Chain A
Amino acid sequence: MAVLKPLLTETGAEPIGKLVIGTVKGDLHDIGKNLVAMMMEGAGFQVVDLGLDTQPEKFVNAVRELNPDLLGMSALLTTTMPAMGDTINALIEAGLRDRVKVMVGGAPVTQGFCDEIGADAYSPDAASAVDTALELVGAPKK
């Protein structure tokens, strides 16, 4: 993306949406999250990467301050998956849940878990995450 980004910027194309993304609290794994972030940038999204071990409050503050269309959360461990639900609850408490669509992913995450915690979408891999994101912001698939 370091090579492609200036070329994308040169085209002057407006971002098709804004994504805030991070690996959840207690989890230091970020390969999957980085792949999703790169693919999203490549697809035309503006991406704000909060990094790893992201506390729910940090996600909430980012949603409040940056007003993204999408919030992406990643976890590699079954032990850290619950932090996704905690973050969604924190968004609800802050009155921000309706302002953003929440996407979740990572090796142990399933559609069932996504539904259980009240996320908007689950994607099993980076490529389908892009398709899902395009759908959520109402843009045509590429």
Chain B
Amino acid sequence: MTPRESQSAIMTRSAAERYAERHRRYTTALRNGKPDRVPIRPFVAEFTARHAGVTCQQVTHDYRLAFEAVRRTAMDYDWDAVVSNMVYCWTGLTEAIGLKYYGVPGLHVPKDVGFQYREPPEEEAWMPPEDYDALIGDPTGYLLNVWLPRVSRDVVAPGAPNTARNNLSFLSGGMAMMSYFNAFGEQNRRLREECGVVPAIAGILKAPLDILADKLRGYLGLCSDLFERRDKVRAACEALMPHLFHVALSGADPNREVPIGFWMHRSCVPLVSPDDFNEFFWPTLKPIVLELWRLGHQVLFYAEGNWDAHLETFAQLPEGSIVFHVDRTDIFRAHRVLGHKFCLSGGVPNALLSYGRPEQIRARIRQIIDGVARDGGYIMDASAIIMNDAKPDNMRVLTDFTHEYGVY
């Protein structure tokens, strides 16, 4: 064995050992157990660009650079798990299809601001109210044949005169999709084998009511519909369930070790009323979560906003079936209501990481670990995805103090 091969073997073995240790720590906590110490799994998005010394525009335009920034950040900070690429919008794909709903850094927002979603005014919603029956009749067909041509600058609807740009959008969009999505396998392998870091989640779930508000009717459109056409809203949510279940399952971890990410945007009080939550959101979400759990897949509830009003509802789910991520929910109440059944994560305000002082961060971490993590079942993270305004020194404090104070 040459010195170089020997060095490589040490590095490889070392990364493998680190991976085994971190994997054990992370998955033990996911299952509401007590590992050797509190695992750290920050949902780092554009913060990785800052750490790598590049702009939001660069990581959005070049997924290889984004992947590299994730690996480098996870290694340098010694985190247990990260999302393979939280800056998941790759301009190469979105521009190939000409998607109108992305605001891309350097194109539509300043180059140092992360990508965002555009929502048209109510009267220009991607789905007008008269389309409900078409969506209910064939959700997947509707998304492909009606919705996609509306959200794309290039795709034309079936029956409309064809264009070269339409043909090219499918060709280049398909190539971009293959290139990008296939690259995730290699990214996950490198995270595991080179960095010894666990890819934190696999797959994506959205709730029917959320997707209706988010990408079809828009929030204001949905609010009108909840007054004027409740039967259609109910039928649309029910019709979307198989499609959304299939999307979640198709990206899930085949080894059933890490959870499916469930992104919850617009269905907590006061964005919808308690009655609408109980009548629309929950009955069309719960069966999906139960079926995924029956198949062995845990779901990570990324509960954006404040879900205090709904914790008792989530507590109905089978033990271990979810992980509840805390944004603005009261983390101590979440622990009281959910902690005996489920792992929690998050709860460190992003503003603290951007504008706070080290002692404030340490105080919050101490409060969280003492209050909710004493018996395990907690994963350290900020409240929401971490963007490029988080101070590197504060991220270091988050990491080092959790390593120090989070030992069991």
A and B part of one assembly: yes
Chain A interfacial positions (CB closer than 8 Å to B): 25-31, 34, 53, 77-82, 107-108, 110, 113, 125
Do the beta carbons of B305 and A107 come within 8 Å of each other? yes
Q: Which of B11-47 touch A at CB < 8 Å?
A: 46
29 contacting pairs across A/B (C-beta < 8 A): A26-B109, A27-B116, A28-B109, A28-B117, A28-B118, A29-B116, A30-B119, A31-B219, A31-B220, A34-B220, A53-B109, A77-B113, A77-B114, A77-B116, A78-B350, A78-B387, A78-B389, A79-B46, A79-B112, A79-B114, A79-B387, A81-B351, A82-B389, A107-B305, A108-B349, A110-B351, A113-B351, A113-B355, A125-B270
B328 interface residue (CB < 8 Å to A)? yes
Question: What is the bound-complex CA distance between A107 and B350, given in angstroms?
Answer: 11
CB distance A28 to B116 under 8 Å? Answer: yes
B387-A31 in contact (CB<8A): no
What are the residues of chain A within 8 A of B113 when measuring CB–CB?
A: 26-27, 77, 79-80
Say whether A107 contacts B328, CB under 8 Å: yes
Q: How far is the CA of A25 from the CA of B118 in the complex (A)?
A: 14
Q: Taking the nearest CB of chain B, how far is it from the CB of A76, in angstroms?
A: 9
Residues of B137-167 at the interface with A, using a CB-CB cut-off of 8 Å, are none
Q: How many A-B residue pairs have CB under 8 A?
A: 50
A80 to B116, CA, bound (A): 12
Q: Which of A25, A28, A34, A78 has the most CB of B within 10 A?
A: A78
Cβ of B48 within 8 Å of any chain A Cβ, yes or no, is no
Contact indicator A79/B270 (Cβ below 8 Å): no
Interface 1/0 per residue, B337-368 and A, CB below 8 Å: 00000000000011100110000000000000
Closest to B270 in A: A125
Contact, CB under 8 Å: A108 / B119: no
- Within 8 Å by CB of B351, from A31, A34, A78, lies A78
Q: In this assembly, does B103 line the interface, its C-beta being within 8 Å of a C-beta of chain A? A: yes
Is the CB–CB distance between A79 and B116 below 8 Å?
no
Q: Which among B118, B305, B355, B390 has the greatest number of chain A C-beta atoms within 10 A?
A: B355
Residues on B with beta carbons closer than 8 Å to the beta carbon of A30:
119
* B283 interface contact, C-beta 8 A: no
Contacts of A81 in B (CB 8 A): 351
**Is A79's CB under 8 angstroms from B389's CB?**
yes
Give the residues in chain B near A26, CB-CB below 8 Å: 109-110, 113
Q: Which 8 A-B pairs have the closest CB atoms?
A: A26-B113, A28-B116, A79-B389, A28-B103, A78-B354, A79-B387, A78-B350, A31-B219
Q: Give the residues in chain A near B305, CB-CB below 8 Å.
A: 107
Note all chain B residues with C-beta closer than 8 A to A79: 46, 112-114, 387-389
With A26-B109, A80-B113, A125-B270 as given contacts, are A108 and B351 in contact (CB-CB < 8 Å)? Answer: yes
Task: Give the docked Cα–Cα distance between A28 and B103 (Å).
Answer: 8
Closest A residue, CB atoms, query B349: A108
Instruction: Give the nearest-CB partner of B102 in chain A.
Output: A28
> Min CB distance, A24 to chain B, in Å?
11
